[in-house]
Chain A
Amino acid sequence: MNINEKQQEIIDEFAIYDDWMEKYEYIIELGKELEAFPEDKRTDDRLIDGCQSRVWLSTEIENGNMHFRADSDAIITKGIIGLLIRVLNDETPETVAKTDLFFINEIGLQEHLSPTRANGLLSMVKRMKMDALKASVDAAKN
């Protein structure tokens, strides 16, 4: 499944919910299921401080692909992190850097990635893309 197919899959999953609360219940479930964040990586340089919630992001390259792990103190933020990781993980640095994350708008979560929301998510996505860009530049050098 390519990155856009993954995004479409999420859009289809959300299409069955016509009620906002159901949608959020699903996001909260995803937040609860998110892979535990390694405690040794919970460092200040990995912290993205939002006004509302805090986010930790750890980026690694595995077999030439991006591998993100992230966490938040707020469960809804965590659920959205889960969706972002599902889309972006195991993709090449170039794909991550270039991809337009259209699924966020399609499932109606754009408010969480607006600059005014200050929950750390927008900064996290920016950092994910920057890390991917750096990795793709490094890959080109080698």
Chain B
Amino acid sequence: MAEGTKKPFSVREIREQFPALRQTVYGKNLIYFDNGATSQKPQVVLDAINRYYSKDNANIHRGVHFMSQKATTEFEEARIAIQKYLNAKKSEEIIFTKGTTDSINLVAFSYGELLKEGDEILITTMEHHSNIVPWQMLCERKKLVLKVAPINKKGELIEEEFDKLLSNRTKLVSVTHISNTLGTINPVKELAKKTHAVGAKILVDGAQSIQHMKVDVRDLDCDFYVFSSHKVFGPTGIGVLYGKEDLLDRMPPYQGGGDMISKVTFERTTYNELPHKFEAGTPHIAGGICLGEAIRFLNALDMDAIQRHEKELAHYAQDMLDTFEGVRIIGEAKQKTSVVSFVVDKIHPFDIGTLLDKQGIAVRTGHHCTQPLMDFFKIPGTVRASFAFYNTKEEIDTFIAAVEKSISILK
């Protein structure tokens, strides 16, 4: 859809498309502020799931019959929708995976096969465990060295330190686009430039970015971009690895099985071309098709207006929380998305989260799979409210009153 034809953003109209938001928990209207963990699904995606299994269910590729061809077409159309949304050069560069974690593991295994002892991988302090552990495993397997670029107290990457750690030994930089715990937006375009200047490749963890901003992989010039469907209004169990074609071509397959082969004999097997080389076995067909639907849904929205709305929500919540005595916001980066993480003096995040839950408000508490980051801030965890475009200022008012009530009970 052309930019000019996008419908003006209306939070009321958007909410109507998300049935999960219309429910009560413990007798209270649900307020869903756990969007960093997963997003709710619009009716078009729910309908697509129903339609696929009711009418189109068939195994894809190689099927001669009507249904198989229809399912194949829809699956491949979803790939094209994602390619266009990310502005990738070719649809072959879009690999379906199980999600962000799976995509990173694929790269760690497969790109890792091209690396040799002493090569370095560079990550940052604010990474999610899924962008730490696969590299640790790779480093152990291939005797590589893992380097970690530090952050400042505001939760921003210290770029001078990043620059110092970058060298001709660096073979891959793997960095989150947006921190799931802090909301910090990393300057991945600049990081990509610096990375390429030393001849290394860069993977951008997009788990928290694609639902909040327009992502153009060619503009960012990242070598890999990964994300999960379920965080971007699609189903669970499916995700994407975008990789530049020449790079993916050089990488060996990750898993063996059906679909990823060209010819199999007991003596020697040759592999299929991209993207199938990396998609062994029957994929999550319904998931892929419905992710395509979610991406089309997103594409029809005015992303600039959404970003403004989400930023306003986050600022509003943060400003209100700032007025509470003993509340400390964790993550005060200048470039930040709609995540508000906080701790309260002498009160455990788990206690606040439990009381908010009983008031109908879903937030996340704990270390958010970023234990090294919690160690950096010397806290056991945070309370994290993460907003999506379907959240409202009124919900934040209710949330703030609930936080206030919880603190007064817990003090």
Contact = CB atoms under 8 A, between A and B. Distances in A.
B350 A20 contact: no
A24 B355 contact: yes
B26 A119 contact: no
B380 interface: yes
Contacts of A119: 350
Interface in A73-92: 73-77
Contact of A76 (B350, B366, B381): B350
A73 B354 contact: no
Interface in B352-411: 354-355, 358-359, 365-367, 380-381, 405, 409-410
Contacts of B354: 24, 76
A124 to B, nearest CB: 15
B351 interface: yes
Given A52-B365, A73-B380, A28 B409 contact: yes
Given A20-B26, A21-B355, A51 B366 contact: yes
A53 interface: yes
Given A51-B366, A52-B381, A76 B358 contact: no
B31 to A, nearest CB: 15
Interface string A95-123: 00000000000000000000000010000
Contacts of A53: 348, 350, 380
B409 A77 contact: no
B7 to A, nearest CB: 40
A88 B329 CA distance: 40
Interface in A1-26: 20-21, 24-25
Nearest to B25: A20
Contacts, number: 40
Contacts of B365: 52
Interface in B4-51: 26
B348 A21 contact: no
Contact of B410 (A20, A28, A54, A77): A28
Contacts of A54: 380
A112 B292 CA distance: 38
B409 A52 contact: no
A51 B364 CA distance: 12
Nearest to A23: B358
B355 A77 contact: no
A70 B410 CA distance: 19
Given A24-B409, A25-B409, A52-B366, A74 B26 contact: no
Contact of B351 (A21, A51, A76): A76
A73 B351 CA distance: 10
A22 to B, nearest CB: 10
* Residue among B348, B354, B358, B367 facing the most chain A CB atoms (10 A cut-off): B354
Given A73-B348, A74-B350, A76-B354, 10 more contacts: A28-B351, A28-B409, A52-B365, A52-B381, A53-B348, A53-B380, A74-B351, A75-B347, A76-B355, A77-B350
28 contacts: A20-B26, A21-B358, A21-B359, A21-B405, A21-B409, A24-B354, A24-B358, A24-B409, A28-B351, A28-B409, A51-B366, A51-B367, A52-B350, A52-B365, A53-B348, A53-B350, A54-B380, A73-B348, A73-B380, A74-B350, A74-B351, A75-B348, A75-B351, A75-B410, A76-B350, A76-B351, A76-B354, A76-B355
